[in-house]
Each structure stands twice: as C-alpha cells, then as structure tokens.
Amino acid sequence: MKMTQEQFDIIKEQIEKLTQRDCFYKKKFEGIDVSGIKCQEDFEKLPFTWKGDLREAYPLGLMAADEEKIVRIHSSSGTTGTPVIIPYTQKDVDDWAEMFARCYKMAGITSSDRIQITPGYGLWTAGIGFQLGAERLGAMAVPMGPGNTDKQLRMMQDMKSTVLCATSSYALLLAEEIERRGIGDKICLKKGVIGSERWGEKMRRRIANELGVELYDIYGLTEVYGPGIGVSCGENCGMHMWDDFVYCEVVNPKTGELVPDGEIGELVITTLKKEGAPLIRYRTHDLTRILPGECTCGSKYPRIDVILGRTDDMVKVKGVNIFPSQIEDFLSGVDGASSEYQVMIDHLNGRDIFTLFVEVDREVDKREFEKRVLSGFKNRIGISIKCKPVDIGDLPRSEKKTARIYDNRY
C-alpha cells in the first residue's frame, strides 16, 4: 500500500521523538540513522517489532509518555509466558473511542440502538472498547460481559437489545440457545458486531440466519488500542482500516518481505498517533491481504480482507503446511458438515496422525460422510487423515476465541 505524504511525515516525526527520549525504541533503533529516513522505502528497512520484544519490556518498558499522562493499562491475554502491558494516555483512550464509534457508524448503528456487550471487561481490551465506542456514539450500552446465558437472553429480551457484540463462537452459542428455547420472536436484534477471529462462511450464515441479523467484522488487537481499528461495511468485502490512526503493511511471514497488494501475508501495523505505547512495524501474526481499489460503499478508507488465520495456527503435517481457513473452505463444500470442527494432531509410532472431528447434521449417514471426507481431504489438501463425525453440539463452544487445532506432537 502506498504511504501518503501525511502518514510519512507523522511516522518520521514520531520516530525522531521516540529515539530522543529514554524509551523502548531508543534501544530498539540503536545504531540506526533515523535522520536518514527520507521515504517509504527507507521506512520499510526498519526492523520489525515482535510480541517477544513487548514481553521483554514487561512491565512498563513500553511507556513512551510521562507517567502522569498515563491513565490506564491493558494487557494482552498471553496464553503462555509473560503478558504484554500497554499503557494508554487520555488521548489514546479518546482516539480509541473515536475509532470505535466510527466502526459502529460504518455498520449503520446509531444513538437509538441498544448495544449488548458480551466480551469480557478487565485487563484485556475487548468489553471496555465496545463500551467506549457505544458511549461516544450515544447509544445505550448493556454491559453484560461474558457468560451466564440465561441472564444474557433475559436482558436481550427485556432491554430489547438491537445490537449484539460477541465473539463468533459465543454468538453461535446464543443463536443455538435462542432456537432451542423457541424465543426467536422475542429477540429484537438487527445487527451483530463480531470480534475478528477467523470464522468461516458457514458459521456466518448460521449466526445471521438464526439471529436474523446483519453481521459486521470488527478488527483490532490489544497491542494496537484494541478492537475498533477497522470494521467491515455493508458491502461485506473486507474491513476498512482507519488509516489516519494506523498504517498497514502485509509481509511474507517467513521472509518478512512486503507482498504485493492482493496477496496473502502477515499484517504489520504502525501506529500514527499513539502516545502511551507507540508501535512501529508491529508483527500482528494475523493473515490477511490488502484489497486493492476503492470499496463500492464509497468509503475512502483502505481495506484489508477479513482475518484468514494466524501465522502461528499454521501446522506442518506430513510435510504439508495447513491453515484453519483451508479446512473451513474444504468443509464448506461437504454436504452435511456444519461449521464446527476440531483437529487433533498426534505422533504415534513415527507417524503424524491428523484427526478431524466434524459436527454433522442429524440425518447424515456418518460412515458414508467419513468416506467422503477422507477422499475429499486427500484430493484437496494432499494428506491422508482420520475423520470422526459427531453430533451438533458435541464440540466445545467458548466465550473466548475457539481453538480449532490441537497439536499434541510436542
């Protein structure tokens, strides 16, 4: 993506400021002549910032503003090891609210809406971001946080919530529960704003149909404000990114080289206005691509594709690289398969064993289904697997992001 002159000037000024004060980037860019950065190509030679760098800065090593300006911290939910702490100034919080309100507006949500927020509140950025944006927009927030499905559904009916904010797996759980209880006609939802985990077309259709809503993908990560730095529009073709706050690049995850617009790679983000913890060329590990050209919705904000997976979700089995999105694409073409699946990879007697658990419709003949999956998978993806069809509802649903692939080999 071509960097605008304005973006370049902001980034250049930011880098100069950051390398003059005692902070993370002074150390990170030691030995680099930052005054020699004259154009986009020079910027693209700067080293990447990795999640590991952020962990090493624990607890407050990323802080790039005076402490009296810091109003809060958030922390990314590291599943292993040291967490990452991100300090925010009041301006960072205000900017985040502004971006989030824009996301709601892009989705056609107004101050007359009632927004039920089910992501968690606390150290991570999810719930509180949805809340900030709702308040900035002037809508009525219903701040539920996660869990307690009975209470969620009661409030959804009594408060007549019109917007549901959730992860895709929790939205699916609620949709299934509404159907099971036969209370669909008491639900007033019109739109769903779904956090940007990878979710397939089948799951999207099920949630949309069962809840009777239009769905929007919202993007973000704790290291870069939180959710709300980009969102899909009514055209449903990728997500618009707020390029006055973040600059996006897409690189080959193996080599770190930029890939041409339209090609899949890892999203790399540079913040343009962040004060508490600015980031330069941060490797998100999210797989996507820059969508060239302007969107038919008329918005000038550039677009990336919906998240296609995580670079660290990629598994190598029998010499073949496999992404969750490939499995989802494959299953979407298999009659009787639902959107829900799970993969177990084991190593037994010197061989990798890839077992695909899939929820199937009740009327499906499981033995015949298994045969179709085995030959189809071998043809499409190129390896022999085991398949275990299970009933709808047998695989775990979660309020957080659902893990699809369990690699038990190491």
Rule CB under 5 A: which residues touch Zn ion?
233, 235, 295, 297, 299
Closest approach, Cβ 305 to Zn ion, in A, equals: 13
Q: Which amino acid, 69? A: K
Closest approach, Cβ 240 to Zn ion, in A, equals: 6
Closest approach, Cβ 96 to Zn ion, in A, equals: 21
Is residue 392 helix, strand or coil?
coil
Distance CA 306, CA 204 (A): 12
Q: Give Cβ neighbours of residue 158 (< 8 Å, ≥ 6 apart).
A: none
Nearer to Zn ion, 153 or 297 (CB): 297
Closest approach, Cβ 104 to Zn ion, in A, equals: 15
Distance CA 69, CA 86 (A): 14
Residue written as token pair 């990879």: 345
Closest approach, Cβ 166 to Zn ion, in A, equals: 22
Nearer to Zn ion, 204 or 206 (CB): 204
Nearer to Zn ion, 24 or 216 (CB): 216
Among residues 222, 217, 223, 251, the alpha carbon closest in space to that of 235 is found at 217
Nearer to Zn ion, 297 or 353 (CB): 297
Among residues 306, 289, 167, the alpha carbon closest in space to that of 231 is found at 306
Neighbours of 158 (CB within 10 A): 10
Residue written as token pair 């973000």: 220
CA dihedral 376, 378, 381, 383 (to 10 degrees): 150
Closest approach, Cβ 107 to Zn ion, in A, equals: 11
Distance CA 328, CA 117 (A): 27
Closest approach, Cβ 106 to Zn ion, in A, equals: 8
CA dihedral 136, 149, 221, 315 (to 10 degrees): -160
Nearer to Zn ion, 56 or 235 (CB): 235
H-state helical runs in 36-142 = 40-43, 51-56, 90-106, 126-137
Nearer to Zn ion, 106 or 187 (CB): 106
Nearer to Zn ion, 233 or 280 (CB): 233
- 194 close to 215: Cβ distance less than 8 angstroms: yes
